[in-house]
């Protein structure tokens, strides 16, 4: 099983600032990585797939990068609606498909 | 627009079987070269993939669930279902259904999840 590790667990950021979230895979997943955003009481929403391709409707301030075992999600200028929990997910080696433990982006 | 809706009981007794159904609208399961998946999230915890099925009935499961899980599909109703046997308190979670994968040169690849259903909380308690 590919273990996904996200850091930090919590990220405190002021509105308008840049946020950088990390995701590490226990083995190479090539570029087969997705990012999701989850707000309280809601289902996760796909933001990024293929490590760097924005899903339909994802604002341009969200960008993904990386390949192999190290990945980054960057939010260039945090808006109020961006405060949420973010999960990464690998889809190279399955079953099972696996998620990271999440990073909560909170208001500083 | 593709939409998924989970239905089923919110309370299940320990040792019994949890059964949920995901109804799909806006697309035909039978005509989609995609997987249809179940994912759960224990209260305050992260996401766990349970398993996935394709319209032919072929299914894949998370080994961590040790054979307690069955996913089935009913193409006539455009629905797929989840059964979890011998539930315990550890199975208490919000259960989501989602479409998984995209069609790449006629086969299913890129197994990310989009869209997701709204989820339903299932509590295991006597």
Torsion of CA B85, B90, B92, B93, to 10 degrees: -110
Mean pLDDT of chain B: 95
- Count the neighbouring beta carbons within 10 Å of the beta carbon of residue B118: 14
User: Which of A95, A99, A101, A102 has the highest number of chain B CBs within 10 A, making it the mutation to test binding with B?
Assistant: A95
CA A71 to chain centre: 8
**B95 and B35 in contact (C-beta within 8 Å)?**
no
Taking every pair of Cα atoms in chain A, the longest distance, rounded to a whole number of angstroms, is: 39
Distance from CA of A43 to the nearest CA of B (A): 6
Is residue B33 predicted with pLDDT exceeding 90?
A: no
Closest partner CB to A95 (pick from B47, B62, B116)? B62
Does the pLDDT at position B107 exceed 90?
A: no
Per-residue pLDDT, averaged over A43-68, amounts to 97
B108 touches chain A (CB under 8 A): no
Nearest to B63 among A87, A96, A102 (CB): A96
pLDDT of residue B31: 83
Report DSSP state, residue B89. G
Question: Which chain A residues are within 8 Å of B111, Cβ to Cβ?
Answer: 32, 91, 94, 97
- pLDDT-wise least confident of A28-37, A98-107, B102-111: B102-111
| Chain B contact present for A39, CB below 8 A | no
Mean pLDDT of B87-112: 91
pLDDT band, very low/low/confident/very high, at A79 (cuts 50, 70, 90): very high
pLDDT digit string, tens, across residues B39-86: 999 999 999 999 999 999 999 999 999 789 999 999 999 999 999 999
Give the DSSP letter string of A33-101: EEEEEE-TTS--EEEEETTTEEPTT--TTEEEEEETTEEEEEESS--GGG-SEEEEEE-SS-SSPEE--
Of A39, A20, A28, which is closest to residue A4 (Cα–Cα)? A28
Distance CA A74, CA B24 (A): 33
Q: Which residues of A touch B110 (CB under 8 A)?
A: 32, 49-50, 91
User: Is A89–B64 a contact, with Cβ atoms under 8 angstroms apart?
Assistant: no
Q: What is the pLDDT of residue B66?
A: 75
pLDDT of B106 above 80 = no
DSSP B65: G
């Amino acid at each position: 099983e590919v273990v996904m590790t996200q850091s930090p667990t919590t990220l405190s950021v002021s509105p308008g600032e840049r946020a950088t979230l990390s995701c590490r895979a226990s083995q190479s997943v090539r570029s087969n990585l997705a990012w999701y955003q989850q707000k309280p009481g809601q289902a996760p929403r796909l933001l990024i797939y293929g490590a760097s391709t924005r899903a339909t409707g994802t604002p341009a301030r969200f960008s993904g990068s990386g390949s192999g075992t190290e990945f980054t999600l960057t939010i260039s200028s945090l808006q109020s609606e961006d405060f949420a929990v973010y999960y990464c997910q690998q889809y190279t080696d399955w079953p099972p498909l696996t998620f990271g433990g999440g990073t909560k982006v909170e208001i500083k | 627009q593709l939409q998924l809706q989970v239905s089923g009981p919110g309370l299940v007794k320990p040792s019994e079987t949890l059964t949920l159904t995901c109804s799909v609208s806006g697309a035909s399961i039978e005509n989609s070269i995609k997987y249809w998946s179940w994912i759960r999230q224990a209260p305050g915890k992260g996401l766990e993939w349970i398993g996935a099925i394709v319209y032919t009935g072929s299914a894949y499961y998370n080994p961590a669930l040790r054979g307690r899980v069955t996913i089935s599909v009913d193409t006539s109703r455009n629905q797929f279902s989840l059964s979890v046997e011998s539930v315990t308190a550890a199975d208490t979670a919000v259960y989501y259904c989602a479409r998984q994968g995209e069609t790449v040169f006629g086969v299913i690849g890129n197994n990310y999840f989009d869209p997701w259903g709204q989820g339903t909380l299932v509590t295991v308690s006597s």
